[in-house]
Amino acid sequence: MGHRIDETSLDRLFREARTYSKWQSRPVTDDTLRDLYELLKWAPTSANAAPARFAFLRSMAAKKRLRPALAPLNIEKTMTAPVTVIVGYDLKFYDHLPKLFPQSPGIKQLFESNPELVEATAKRNSSLQGAYLIMAARALGLDCGPMSGFDPAKVDEEFFAAGKPCFGCEQEFFPEGHVKSNFLCNLGYGEPGTPYPRLPRLPFNEACSVL
Ligand SMILES: Cc1cc2nc3c(=O)[nH]c(=O)nc-3n(C[C@H](O)[C@H](O)[C@H](O)COP(=O)(O)O)c2cc1C
């Protein structure tokens, strides 16, 4: 605790990491996807609720199901990416709280009776977990292309509606549509050379205040 990681790692994670839209043919293995989740799962969420759900689309069949929901500018980069992950959130995340947050037995009921709190918690924390996924991917040597240019209602209907196969769930099929999409992220090994130079970022005094 308390000491900085080395400069090369900081470059990899932040200063030199770019958003990619062209991909090498090198595949992303199942083991790498597991390594990715095994890292990102440790980063914090409120009440340890971990509401994000990740659907990793790798087969062409799965990508074709996604295609009609994509904004035109996102089609080619997504269809050619080795993997596209749908970062979703489970509106029934509170069902897992007795296991994930056992020191607070009343918390499941608190969420169950407050749909607005559920929605805000699920969106905030699944966005955080999506960001953790990006940073974990970079730490593992992968490149990312996050995207919000898609129709979430179409994605939810195609992948998360009642009766659809419930990958990663205990049930075989979704009993009801309680998983919603937040954003998409292409994953792979980026083709060197990004299409445009690094864009500026707000300087400290425009984005921060110290009170
Ligand atoms: C949540 C999110 C949504 C984004 N949506 C899109 C998108 O739909 N299409 C796209 O081409 N880029 C998208 N981007 C990429 C951003 O434009 C890009 O990350 C930003 O300009 C910084 O580029 P850099 O990482 O190369 O510095 C998105 C990024 C994030 C984090």
**DSSP string computed for 124-155:** HHHHHHHHHHHHHHHHTT-EEEEE--B-HHHH
Substitution site in 66, 148, 183, 184 for ligand 1 pocket (most atoms within 8 Å of beta carbon)? 148
Residues with CB under 6 A from ligand 1: 18-19, 73-74, 146-149, 183, 194, 198-199
Say yes or no to pLDDT of 168 above 70.
no
Contact indicator for 179, 91 with CB cutoff of 8 Å: yes
Global pTM exceeds 0.85: yes
3-state secondary structure of 146: strand
Q: How far apart are CA 93 and CA 97, in angstroms?
A: 7
Q: What is the pLDDT, as a whole number, of residue 151?
A: 98
Contact indicator for 85, 56 with CB cutoff of 8 Å: yes
* Amino acid (one-letter) located at 36: L
Give CA separation, 24 vs 131, 186, 211, in Å.
23, 13, 46
Q: Is 146 exposed, middle or buried (0-12, 13-18, 19+ CB in 10 A)?
A: middle
Q: How far apart are the CA of 20 and the centre of ligand 1, in A?
A: 9
Beta pairing partners, 55? 86
Q: What is the pLDDT, as a whole number, of residue 167?
A: 64
Q: How far apart are the CA of 148 and the centre of ligand 1, in A?
A: 8
Q: What is the pLDDT, as a whole number, of residue 91?
A: 95
Q: What is the pLDDT, as a whole number, of residue 169?
A: 66
Q: How far apart are the CA of 130 and the centre of ligand 1, in A?
A: 13
> pLDDT tens for residues 16-51?
999 999 999 999 999 999 999 999 999 999 999 999
Q: What is the pLDDT, as a whole number, of residue 177?
A: 86
Q: Which stretch of 30-34, 87-91, 132-136, 163-167 has the lowest confidence by average pLDDT?
A: 163-167
Say yes or no to pLDDT of 175 above 80.
no
Backbone angles phi, psi at 190, to 5 degrees: -65, 145
Percent of all residues in the chain with a pLDDT value above 90, rounded to a whole number? 89
Q: How far apart are CA 20 and CA 194, in angstroms?
A: 7
